Structure 1
Amino acid sequence: MPPVRIVCISDTHNDDRRADIPDGDIFIHAGDMTDWGTLTELQDAYNWISSLPHKLKIVVAGNHDFGLDADHPRYVPEAVELFTSDAAKAAGIHYLNQQVQTFTDYTSDSPGELRVYGNPRQPEFLGKPYAFIYRPFPFEGSVEAWKDAPTSNDNVDIWVMHSPPYGRLDAITAKYKGLTGCQVQVRKIAAAKPLLCVFGHYHFSWGVERVRWEEDGDGVSSSEFLSLSPERKLEEGRDGPESVSEFSFPQLERGRETIFVNAACMTMNKASEDRNKPIVINLSL
């Protein structure tokens, strides 16, 4: 059975990236499609995403996508209706908000069921009233945000969120020292052990990391960076790995290994024309 080709991107921030998106079976956008989450901005994002040829398109919101957050003052119901409409589904778009969805028709030769979990919730960021935020652990909101997350019994293949889990591609430039990924989320992922986790939010840590779990329990046995952003390598004085954007995993061991992808397209300098590439994961299911 041929591998499933999964194209991952996040943090496009009003950029129309359709010309840069590689072909594939599945397209994943892990949030921050926009800067301010207005209906106009979200409509523009919907337009370019819906035009892509990928059979299945998974979308979660980010902290800048205000209009999609029903608990935020900038909520725009029409925006949610747009991304959950019959037209969206006909275009292959599935907007996930704290839920698991099962797919069977995601390639021309789908090898079986694909279970995907999506959750846009994230720890508050820089003290600003962003969308989909909660106070970080140990505050109760962090536990509430992930209380219904999948477990190993749910057999989730792909886990999509906007913000990184703690310790997994969540480094940030020294200017914002002290910010990290979510400590609750990392425990939930360790318990569920999906094959692939896709996120963004921390532009500085674009890259790919392969984690092997301990045979008994939820601890990490080993981890390896497979790709890191040029910005992070420069600031941290690293010699590698190269900033490669496509990987194949023909024999990933289910329940023992997870690939973490920080697919943030935006760099730390939005005024620059430089962008991080979409990351392609060829995965045998």
Structure 2
Amino acid sequence: MRSRLGGRPGSALQRLAVDAEPAAIYAIGDVHGCLDLLLALEAIIVADAAEIEGERWIVMLGDVVDRGERSAQVLDHMLEPAPGELRRFSLMGNHEAMMLDFLRRPSPNSAWLEFGGRETLLSYGVPLEALMHSRFGAREARQIVDLYIPGDHIEWLEELPVMIETPSTVLVHAGIQPGIGLSEQADLDLFGYRDNFEASYEDLGRTVVHGHTIREEPLVTANRIAIDTGAYFTGRLTAVRIVPGQPPVLFSSGSSRPQQSTTAMS
């Protein structure tokens, strides 16, 4: 797999690319600390992947942390080998970016704390009453964070790429800015762009797979697959299987029973 830094000046995150398609890609939407939903979905994926020969990937589309109750445990899981002899990749989401910024410059006034950061710190056992106390400043916040956040979690966050490309597929967290070439996309847009789902991405000649913007149902078209179904408040986590020459297949966990559906492109 080839790796390069971002396109526009100031881009710093890695962008990964391969010249040949894997046998299957299982892209998983925004987990947001919902470890039980992730484990259930992985079990569905492992069973499905057992029928496929060749290299099979799990790609986490970003935002595995925040909002839910078990972000620390999700990161522990990310550091373990992928299940079922699959190969796992994880992308930078806006919540990973916010968390990493906080861990580098911890402050009781960080905006991240209002966007799921409190729940993440609680999952590490951080005493929020101490962190949020008015007499604590940045120095005290630094000391508290250093006591509770494992170094390998920080290293994992720092190494996340912002994009993965195959000859037919582009995987990012948030989508891409319409009308701008991939090499010119800013890191911030790739993990933070708020999509209205109007762009077709037809001009790319590839399918863009992303999460970030919640939909009641996944969107699957010839050039776009959007699979964030709001796991942390709907209780439904969604994945899509992409196999060359076959229609995408959707999987979900957390509903009344595991779901699988083959989706015709609209």
TM superposition score category, shorter chain reference? 0.3 to 0.5
Highest relative contact order (Cα 8 Å, sep 6+), 1 or 2? Answer: 2
Q: Which has the higher strand share?
A: 1
Q: Which has the higher helix share?
A: 2
TM-score (norm 1): 0.43
